[in-house]
Chains A and B, each alone.
Chain A
C-alpha cells in the first residue's frame, strides 16, 4: 500500500525523469523476464547451446577411431568447405530443393484453388488433400518404399501395363533423387495445401467480383487478383519448403540411406553419416555450421528478393 501511494505522489509531482521512472522500469524488466523466461530456457537448451557447441566442435579434429580430438582451429572448416564430398552433397541438396520446392508449391496451389470452390462435398476433398500433414515421415516413406518397389510396386506395375519399362526407382543412380523428391513433395503437399487454402480464404470476394465486372476472365483473375493477394502466403510457403528441403533426413534414411553412389546424400544425411557412422564429430559439426549458414543466407535472399514482389495489404 505504501508503494502505491508513493508512486501516485511521484506521478502527481514529477521529479527529474531518471529518478521517478527508475522503479517502474525495473519492475517492468522483471516482469518481462518472467514472461520470457520459459521460452528463453527452452531456446537456450535446445537451440542456442547446441548451436554454439556445434560451432565449437568444428574446431576439433577426431582421430580415425573417434577416440581423441585435437584443436585445429578453422583448418577443419576449410577442409570441409573445400572437400569434393561436401560439394557433391551440396549439389545434391540443391537439386533436391529444386525438384521439391517449385513442384510442391505449384501442386499445392493447384489443389488449393480446386478446393477453394463452393461445391457440395468439398470438405471431403479438403480433408483428403490436407491429410499428408498428419502423416509421419516414417509412415510416408514406408508407404512410398512399397509403391516404388521395383518388382511389387504399383508404380512399376502401372508403367509396365502402359507399355513402359520398369524402373529401379531407388536403386538406379539416375532415378533415386527424383524418387525421393516425389516422396517429399507428397509429404509436404498437405502443409502447402493448408497454408495456401488459408491464404485464398482471406482474399475478399468483392475483389473477384469487381474483376469479373471489369472484364477479367478466370485466368486474368488468377494472375491479377489471386496470385498478387496470395503473395505473402506463397513467400512463406517457399521459405518453409526450402528450409524443409535442406533439412530433409527421414525419408532419405528410410528410402536410400544416401545411396546409390551418394546420389541422395544430402547435407543432413552426410552430417549424420559423418557424425554417427564415421564418428567424425568435428567434420559433422563443420558441415552443420555450413548448412546453418546456407539456410540462413538462402532465407535472407528469399526475403530480400521475393519480398519486392510481395504485397502485404494495408
Chain B
C-alpha cells in the first residue's frame, strides 16, 4: 500500500459537515495521530479510511489507487474501536481468529497465527475466556490481537486507550509505540488527548470543526502552532493569548498588552507591522512566563497546586488573564498580590486577529 492520502475529501451528514476539504498524506509506516476536540471530525476521517463511511466528495488513496469505492473488508486494514467491539459470544481465541476465518486461512495456519499474536500480547492464558470475563485492559489487548493477527498494511485506532485507567494508559502507550516499531506498518490513531498525541506520534494532524489545522511532528506543533486554535489546544495549561497593539519600544517593536509591554521577535513583528493590522494577538505559553517582577503588572487571582508544579492565574485586566506555570520548589505569590511578569521575545507568538493564523 505505502501511503494513505485524503484528496479534497468532504463528508456531510445531512446539513452537518463532518470533514471539510480535507487533504492529508500519511506516509508509509508512519504513526500519525489525528488530534482534536470531540466533534471535530477526526473519527469520521478515520472511518473514511476504514471504508465505514463514504466521502461526499473527494478521494481516499491507498498508494496510487483510489479506494473510495473499495469495501472495508478489501482494504487490508485493521481497526481498534474505542469500545473494542469484541464479539461477546466468542472466546478470546475465536475473536482473534475471526479475521482469519473470514479470509479462509487454513486451520493450522490460523492456530499458529493466533498463538503468535497471543504470545505477543500476553493473552495465552485467556484464550478460552469470553470477553465478559476479562478486565478492560485485557479486552483492549484482545482487540489489539484481533487487529495484528492478520498483519494488515495499516492499523486504524479510534481512541483505543480512553476506556483504560490512567496508569494502564501510560503503560499501553509505550507498548503501542513498541508495537508500531516491531510491525513496521502505518498507524492512524485518533485521540482527543494531547499527551497521547505528543508521546506517540511521528506526526500530529490537528483538526477542528472538520478542517485540518496543522500537521507536523509533535515538537513542531508545540513550538510553532499554526493558529490560535492549535496554540491553545496543544500544551497544558493552554497558551495565554491576549489582544495587543504594536508600538516602538527601546529595542525595536514591542506589544502593548493589558498591564504592560512585552518584547516581540523582530522578524515576526516586522511582518506583522507590514500587514497593517488593527491590533494583534500575542501568545506566550505558561511555562515561558516568568514571575520575576517584570514589566507586565498583574494581580494574582488563584494558585492551583498540582504537586509537581503550580499554576498561577493572574488578572491582567478585568477581561484578560494569564496563567503562569511555576515549578513546585518556587514559592508561589499570595492571592491578591500584584506581580510583575516577563516574557522573552523568542517565546512570544504572534497571530493575525482576523484569521487567527500565525505570523512569522
Residues of A within 8 A of B (CB): 204, 206-207, 209-217, 220, 224-225, 228-229, 231, 311, 313-314
Contacts and interface: CB of A to CB of B under 8 A. Distances in A.
A210 B81 contact: yes
B132 interface: yes
Contact of B102 (A220, A231, A314): A220
B4 interface: no
Interface string B138-174: 0000000010000000000000000000000000000
Nearest to A216: B102
Contact of B88 (A209, A217, A311): A311
A225 B87 CA distance: 7
Contact of A209 (B81, B98, B103, B146): B81
A242 to B, nearest CB: 24
Interface stretch (B69-77, B109-117, B328-336): B69-77
Main secondary structure of the interface of A (DSSP, over half): helix
Contacts of A224: 87, 98
Contacts of B81: 206, 209-210
B78 interface: yes
Interface centre among A217, A231, A311 (most CB of B within 10 A): A311
Interface in B310-345: none
Contacts of B213: none
Given A211-B87, A213-B50, A224-B98, 20 more contacts: A204-B83, A206-B81, A206-B83, A207-B87, A209-B52, A209-B72, A209-B81, A210-B85, A211-B98, A212-B71, A213-B52, A213-B73, A213-B75, A213-B78, A214-B146, A215-B73, A216-B73, A216-B98, A225-B87, A311-B88
Contacts of A231: 89
Nearest to A207: B85
23 contacts: A206-B81, A209-B50, A209-B72, A209-B79, A209-B81, A210-B85, A210-B87, A211-B98, A212-B71, A213-B51, A213-B72, A213-B73, A213-B79, A214-B73, A214-B78, A214-B99, A224-B98, A228-B87, A228-B89, A229-B88, A229-B89, A314-B88, A314-B132
B288 to A, nearest CB: 43
Contacts of B99: 214-215
B148 to A, nearest CB: 12
Interface in B75-101: 75, 77-79, 81, 83, 85, 87-90, 98-99
A209 B73 CA distance: 10
